[in-house]
Each structure stands twice: as C-alpha cells, then as structure tokens.
Amino acid sequence: MTDVTLHIDDSGIPEGGDGRTVVLIHGWPLSAESWDAQTEALVAAGHRVVAYDRRGFGRSSKPEEGYDYDTFAADLDSVLTQLDLTDVTLVGFSMGGGEVARYVAGHGQDRVRSVVFAAAVPPFLMQGDDNPEGPLTKEAFQEMRGGLEADRDAFFDEFTTGFFSTAEGIQVSEEQRQEALALAKQSSQTAALGAMDAWATTDFRDDLDAITVPTLVIHGDGDQTVPLEGSGARTAAAIEGSELHVIEGGPHGCNVSHAEEFNRVLLDFLQR
C-alpha cells in the first residue's frame, strides 16, 4: 500500500477547556473544512477538535488505491494513534459515518467515549433482495457514477445543489454552496469514484452491532441524498440505547443549513 499523508487540523486544547477531543470525519466529496461551523462552536465550548481530510480529498495525499472502508478505518486509526487520542467522540458525516462504524468493528472502542452519525450512510444504502429498505437503487447509482465519469464539473455542480436541498428547494446561500463546490473539486477523480463505490455498496449492518458506547444519530427529514428512513432511522434502531434527533426541514448538508440546531444537539450530547 502506498504511503499516504493525511492533512490534519488540530485545534489543541482551548484555554480553560477540559480538552476532551472530538474527531470530525467529513462527507463525500468534501474535506475537513466542511466542518468550520462545528469547529468554531466546539472550541468555544472547550473541546479539542481534530478534523482530517480523507485520502484523495482536500489537502491529503491522493493515491491511486485504498478507497475502501477497511482502509479508511485504518486511516482513522492512524490519526488517533499518531495524536495519541483517547476518550474521544467520533462524529461521522455522511460517508464519514461508515468510517465510524467500520473503525469500531475493526479496531474496538478503547479510544472511544461516544459516537455520532450525522446524515450518515449506514446501515446499507444499496437496495437489494437482502436489503429492500436500502434507499439507493442500482440504476440510480449507475446513473450517478456515469454522470461523474462523463462530466465531473457538471456533476459536482448538480450534486452540491441537491446536497443542500429539500423538496422545498435549496436551504443555504449560493456562497455556501460555492464553498462546498470548491472543496469537491479538490478531490482526485480516482478518489471521487472509488469512495462513491465504497459508500454506495458497503454493508455496515454487522459493524453497527459492535457499537456499545453512547450514540447520537442526527439526520434531516428533508435529506434527498441519504434519506432519513433508509439510513439514519435504521441506524438508530439498530444500536441499542442510541438517540435519534431529526432536524425538521433539514437537507443532507444539515450541519451547514441548520448549524445552530446541529451544534446545540451535538454539544448537549457531549456534555453527558
């Protein structure tokens, strides 16, 4: 496997804070910068915030291989090990929720205090005979993948619009959408396609069974990218004792469109 350097943003321990660490794992096809609204609020509340760019995205290395969840989870493990982080809360947004599930299943919970799935892809997006509740049909996936292959710029323009939209229309400013679009364009095409394959086709149902730490699921009920009923609601049902918070009118990118509510719910969970 090619050596990979991951770009890590580490706030350090805020002055006067207890230093308890929150690790933020971004969604596809963005980078750690997509967490800016959360980072500011978490640091202000006294938390150490660590966020990193997934391999192939943002400011991290862009290898030609390693775009599968076992490797993504190993990359997360390398971040926690490198910084010697313990008692952490892992927050996975969208495809980042897959890293959380696969990390716990493969690497255990010794370093983990709690986990958060935010608009996340588990338990299993791809619809099939053994997963009839999966919200993503094979036909829709092939159309999406073909669009990215055929015209990357046009695809990302359309995708970021849907990312922040509900049936009532787009829920963020054009400036905010453009910021996400710029982050998407930092990805390599190999990474964008490989990671798309991973989040669309990976089954996390067994991984969720390994989670026993306190768990929060946050999801918008207007999410058109990763619909609530086929993902967040099922994840909450699968993890005993988990808490589900539904953001009314929230699109997929609810951490931006509804940042105040998202941050309030997350901070409340972290105080327990």
- CATH classification of the domain holding 52: 3.40.50.1820
Whether residue 94 lies in the annotated active site: yes
Catalytic residue check, 223:
yes
Residue 236 included in any domain: yes
Q: Is residue 2 part of a domain?
A: no
d(CA 240, CA 214): 9
Q: How far is CA 92 from the centre of its chain?
A: 4
3 inside domain: no
Under 8 Å between Cβ of 118 and 91: yes
* Axis-axis angle for helices 96-107, 69-82 (nearest 10): 80
Q: From the candidates 9, 53, 207, 223, give the one annotated as an active-site residue.
A: 223
Q: Are 55 and 26 in contact (CB under 8 A)?
A: no
pLDDT digit string, tens, across residues 13-68: 888 777 689 999 999 999 999 999 999 999 999 999 999 999 999 999 999 999 99
**Does 47 map to a domain?**
yes
* 22 assigned to some structural domain: yes
Calpha distance 131→152 (Å, rounded): 30
Is 75 inside any structural domain? Answer: yes
Preceding peptide of 123 cis, ω within 30°: yes
- Of 114, 191, 121, give the one whose Cα is nearest residue 152: 191
Q: Which long-range contacts (CB under 8 A, 24 or more apart) does 175-179 make?
A: 176/256, 179/33
Ranges of residues in the chain whose predicted pLDDT is under 50: none
pLDDT score at 262: 98
Tokens of 271: 């105080």
The span from the CA of 145 to the CA of 155, in Å, is 9
Q: Spot the catalytic one: 26, 219, 245, 252.
A: 252
Question: Is residue 51 a contact partner of residue 26, using CB atoms and an 8 Å limit?
Answer: yes
Of these residues, 34, 60, 94, 165, which one is catalytic? 94
What domain count does the chain have?
1
pLDDT score, position 2: 63
Contact 77, 48 (CB under 8 A): no
In a domain, 44, yes or no: yes
**Cα angle vertex 94, ends 91, 97, to 5°?**
45
CA–CA separation, 174 and 168 (whole Å):
16
User: What span, in angstroms and rounded, lies between the C-alpha atoms of 143 and 74?
Assistant: 30
User: Which tokens sit at 63?
Assistant: 């290898």
Instruction: Count CB neighbours of 219 within 10 A.
Output: 26
- pLDDT score recorded for residue 191: 98
Closest by Cα among 117, 121, 225, 218 to 164 = 225
Instruction: Quickly list H helices, 45-95.
Output: 69-82
CA 107, CA 248: separation in Å to the nearest integer?
34
The pLDDT assigned to 32 comes to: 98
CA–CA separation, 124 and 131 (whole Å): 8
Which domain covers residue 110, as residue numbers?
Answer: 8-270
pTM (two decimals): 0.97
Is residue 102 in a domain? Answer: yes
